[in-house]
Amino acid sequence: MDKRRLYWSSAIAGDEPNVRVAEGSDGVAGWIAFGRCRDAGAAASAGEIWAIYVSPDLWGRGIGRELLSRALDELRAGGFTSVGLWVLAKNERACRFYSAAGFELETSSTKTVEIGGALLEEVRYVRSLAS
């Protein structure tokens, strides 16, 4: 079993993160994982979108917006007052998506991650969950 699959299996079995799935006519269309913020020193009231995925052939159909909206509603209902997420800095499409959903770039927060042997920069987006 590869590392990523093992990680997600373990996380889901431990009830963290919360995972919601959108189904399409051909099976899973997308999913979102969310829960408490994992950043060191984060306030207990801070939530995080851990990951979101929509099948590329279904982009532009509102599936991502629907998944994100549901996660934000559940985080709000769980008592979280803010939410953040990390995204690859060069993923312009995702950055536009999050900006359109009310997230703002937190310019002071960046980190470098290794993916497939490449070092890539991630940036943090945040938003309030005030009703």
- The DSSP-derived string for 49-97 is EEEEEE-GGGTTSSHHHHHHHHHHHHHHHTT--EEEEEEETT-HHHHHH
Whole-structure pTM value:
0.87
Count of beta carbons in the 10 Å neighbourhood of residue 12: 13
| Domain extents in the chain | 3-128
What tens-digit pLDDT sequence spans the chain (131 residues)? 577 677 667 766 766 799 999 998 888 999 999 999 999 999 999 999 999 999 999 999 999 999 999 999 999 999 999 999 999 999 999 999 999 999 999 988 899 999 899 999 999 999 999 86
Q: Could you give the CA distance from residue 10 to residue 93 in angstroms, rounded to a whole number?
A: 30
Please give the CATH superfamily to which domain 3-128 belongs: Gcn5-related N-acetyltransferase (GNAT) (3.40.630.30)
